[in-house]
């Protein structure tokens, strides 16, 4: 028999409150080109990106700590497949432990030739030193900075 289809699209807009902690973090990125974490007094760990409380101790975090811009690659992947609503491949991104931080911060890796996957993966291997690089024009968001090999 004839089987019919109906195409439906979900399109809803949200305005998420970032709260004081994330707002302060993004304002510093926008205005100073600097990345800050927040320390959990109970564990002593510097959480980057900053959280207002630690999900391990459930205690509020206390003081701000400037971290980076240098750091080491903790994880990466190189994407060769096109996904809807994501950038055109190839691109590399992952997580970096910035100097002075205890947790890793995500971002794109730029300036690495991705044409040969194995060679690119070798250049981005875990432990590689990188530096956070800031866009000259910044909006106060995660994509205002990326990582380049040090």
Cα angle for residues 55, 56, 61 (degrees, 5° grid): 65
DSSP 60: B
Is position 91 an interface residue for another protein (rule: CB under 8 A)?
A: yes
Q: Is 40 exposed, middle or buried (0-12, 13-18, 19+ CB in 10 A)?
A: buried
Name the residue among 27, 71, 76, 23 with its Cα closest to residue 46.
71
Is position 141 an interface residue for another protein (rule: CB under 8 A)?
A: yes
9-23 per-residue burial string, b: 16 or more CB within 10 A, e: under 16:
eeeeeeeeeeeebbe
The residues with which 71 forms a beta bridge, in sequence order, are: 98, 130
User: Least Å distance between CB 136 and another protein?
Assistant: 19
Is position 104 an interface residue for another protein (rule: CB under 8 A)?
A: yes
User: Least Å distance between CB 3 and another protein?
Assistant: 5
Rule CB under 8 A: choose which of 35, 40, 65, 101 binds another protein: 101
Rule CB under 8 A: choose which of 29, 35, 40, 97 binds another protein: 97
User: Least Å distance between CB 132 and another protein?
Assistant: 13
Contact footprint for another protein (CB under 8 A): 3, 5-6, 8, 10, 12-22, 45, 47-49, 51-53, 55-56, 58, 74-81, 83-87, 91, 93-95, 97, 101-108, 117, 120-121, 125-127, 141-143
């Amino acid at each position: 028999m004839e089987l019919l289809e109906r195409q439906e699209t979900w399109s809803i807009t949200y305005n998420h409150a970032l709260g004081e902690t994330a707002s302060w973090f993004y304002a510093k990125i926008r205005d100073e080109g600097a990345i800050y974490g927040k320390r959990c007094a109970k564990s002593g760990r510097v959480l980057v990106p900053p959280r207002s409380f630690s999900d391990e101790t459930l205690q509020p975090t206390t003081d701000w700590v400037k971290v980076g811009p240098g750091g080491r690659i903790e994880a990466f992947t190189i994407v060769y497949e096109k996904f809807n609503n994501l950038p055109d491949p190839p691109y590399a991104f992952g997580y970096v432990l910035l100097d002075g931080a205890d947790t890793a911060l995500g971002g794109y890796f730029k300036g690495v030739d991705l044409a040969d996957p194995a060679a690119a993966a070798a250049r981005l291997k875990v432990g590689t030193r990188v530096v956070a690089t800031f866009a000259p024009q910044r909006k106060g968001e995660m994509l205002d900075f990326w990582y380049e090999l040090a």
